[in-house]
Amino acid sequence: MSITESLVLDNGLSLVLDSVEMYTSPVDTVVRYAFTDSIEWLVQHNKGTPIFIERLTDSGGNRFIASTRIIDGNSFVVELTEATSGFVDVIFNTAF
């Protein structure tokens, strides 16, 4: 599954969500959210839980660590130090 979506944040900034992909393993559900050139990546997973693992990768394929802020049980923000393109794999484990 893949979609393209554009979001407008409360502060008036526009955020382009390039794509969302989802796949499932026997224990984990992984959803990939792709972003283009943003300083904040807003992830709205709508799973109703703040329990997940996020894996960040830039557009060059390099994994990195950034601050994340959970908004509620359905969304969180990745806060970056500079505008970055890349993706977030959000892993939901049924064993959590």
Q: What value does the mean pLDDT take over residues 26-44?
A: 89
- pLDDT at residue number 7: 42
Distance between CA atoms of residues 96 and 83, nearest Å: 32
Domain assignment of residue 32, given as a range: 5-93
Residue 86, domain CATH: 2.60.40
Which of these, 40, 71, 67, lies nearest to 54 by C-alpha position?
A: 67
* Total count of domains within the chain: 1
- pLDDT at residue number 26: 58
Confidence grade of residue 24 (pLDDT, cut at 50, 70, 90)? low
Residues 6 or more apart whose Cβ sits within 8 Å of residue 25: none
Mean pLDDT of the chain: 80
pLDDT tens digit string along 48-89? 999 999 999 999 999 999 999 999 999 999 999 999 999 999
**Full-model pTM:** 0.70
Confidence grade of residue 28 (pLDDT, cut at 50, 70, 90)? confident
- pLDDT at residue number 2: 38
DSSP H helical ranges for 15-89: none
What is the residue whose two structure tokens read 């990939």? 32
Burial 14-50 (b: 16+ CB within 10 A, else e): ebebeebeeeeeeebbbbbbbbeebebbbbebeeeee
